[in-house]
């Protein structure tokens, strides 16, 4: 099966490739055409996932399809963008019909969950890697960015931290445990759920935001730098799941929550008067710290003492530098 037959058979015919809202023209031409409402801005983000770096070389292709798109769509959530569509550039060393069918089904499952339409892409031969570009729309001037945090505001997150990092030894086969513990952790790793609805709800309320991909402390550093402030993270306020605590215990679970990465929940700064209304609306928001004068990010204990660890998160190429 050649490239064009492969695209038509496994991707162009998928339910997520059908035209939808804001997609005037999808797969089948040289470019896709997107339609934005008056006053909207286009939000665009690209992620590349490489076998052996971002996911195990040997893994379930259905789960890989889900994870690849969920990771990318989380960037739209971080900006408060309404999801529109995505493209996929798929590099394969080889392929089988079963692998492609399962991958396409996982991709389609996440696309439908996120409200995203597959609008184009490319396939080529080489080491297994996936490059996805996602497109969303946001009202002009309402996009959430990293640069608006103000002194005195609350530092918040949109869900439990550390589950995906806790799942990693299970993913790699280095550890096993009972299903009641392993299943929710593995679900967080393989099927991250982008907080798209929360991101849109934070428009006009949060002052800065991002999604946690490389670890809470490392990613909060981006907000601190862009906003010109210091973020204080209170160790005893970190939200952690019972599954993570059961697997790792308190100390290791805290480490996973602080620097493990792959959470794909939102971290954001919020004026205190906005908190009650958002929580009353049912959004899973936990206050984990505050914005102060200064620079950088510090972890503090219940007495206010600085206990910031040396390792704050994942960085590509750190060893080579």
What's the chain's Rg over C-alpha atoms? 20
CB 32 within 8 A of CB 25: yes
pLDDT for residue 313: 62
pLDDT for residue 3: 58
String of DSSP letters for 35-53? ---TTEEEEEEEEEEEBTT
Question: What is the enclosing helix (H) or strand (E) of 91?
Answer: strand 82-92
pLDDT for residue 315: 43
d(CA 149, CA 231): 9
> pLDDT 10s per residue in the chain (321 long)?
565 576 677 788 788 988 788 999 998 889 999 999 999 999 999 999 999 988 998 999 999 999 999 999 999 999 999 999 999 999 999 878 899 999 999 999 999 999 999 999 998 899 999 999 999 999 999 999 999 999 999 999 999 999 999 999 999 999 999 999 999 999 999 999 999 999 999 999 999 999 999 999 999 999 999 999 999 999 999 999 999 999 999 999 999 999 998 999 999 999 999 999 999 999 999 999 999 999 999 999 999 999 998 766 654 333 333
Domain residue extents for the chain:
3-139, 154-300
pLDDT for residue 17: 86
pLDDT for residue 309: 86
Q: Do 3-139 and 154-300 show the same overall fold?
A: no
Question: Does domain 154-300 bear CATH number 3.40.50.10800?
Answer: no
pLDDT for residue 215: 95
pLDDT for residue 237: 98
Handedness of CA 141, 145, 150, 155 (dihedral sign): positive
Place of tokens 């989380």: 74
Question: Does domain 3-139 bear CATH number 3.40.50.2300?
Answer: no
pLDDT for residue 209: 98
Q: How is residue 291 written in tokens?
A: 């914005």
pLDDT for residue 312: 64
pLDDT for residue 320: 34
d(CA 279, CA 277): 6
């Amino acid at each position: 099966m050649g490239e064009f037959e492969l695209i038509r058979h496994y991707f162009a015919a998928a339910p997520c490739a059908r035209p939808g809202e804001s997609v005037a023209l999808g797969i089948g031409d040289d470019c896709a055409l997107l339609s934005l409402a008056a006053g909207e801005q286009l939000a665009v983000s690209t992620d590349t996932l490489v076998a052996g770096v971002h996911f195990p070389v040997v893994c379930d292709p259905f789960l890989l399809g889900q994870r690849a798109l969920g990771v990318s769509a989380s960037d739209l959530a971080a900006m408060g963008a309404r999801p529109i569509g995505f493209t996929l550039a798929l590099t394969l060393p080889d392929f089988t019909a079963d692998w492609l069918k399962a991958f396409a089904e996982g991709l389609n499952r996440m696309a439908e969950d996120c409200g995203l339409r597959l609008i184009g892409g490319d396939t080529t031969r080489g080491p297994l890697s996936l490059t996805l570009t996602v497109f969303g729309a946001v009202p002009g001037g309402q996009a959430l960015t990293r640069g608006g945090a103000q002194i005195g505001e609350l530092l918040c997150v949109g869900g439990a931290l550390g589950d995906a990092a806790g799942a990693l030894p299970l993913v790699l086969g280095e550890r096993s445990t009972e299903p009641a513990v392993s299943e929710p952790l593995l679900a967080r790793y393989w099927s991250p759920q982008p907080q798209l609805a929360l991101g849109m709800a934070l428009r006009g309320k949060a002052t800065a935001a991002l999604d946690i991909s490389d670890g809470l402390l490392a990613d909060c550093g981006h907000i601190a730098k862009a906003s010109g402030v210091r973020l204080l993270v209170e160790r005893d306020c970190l939200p952690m799941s019972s599954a993570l605590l059961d697997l790792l215990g308190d100390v290791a679970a805290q480490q996973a929550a602080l620097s493990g990465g792959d959470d794909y929940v939102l971290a954001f700064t919020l004026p205190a008067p906005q908190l009650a209304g958002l929580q009353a609306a049912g959004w899973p928001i936990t206050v984990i710290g505050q914005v102060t004068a200064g620079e950088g990010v510090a972890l503090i204990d219940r007495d206010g003492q600085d206990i910031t660890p040396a390792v704050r998160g994942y960085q590509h190429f750190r060893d080579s530098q």
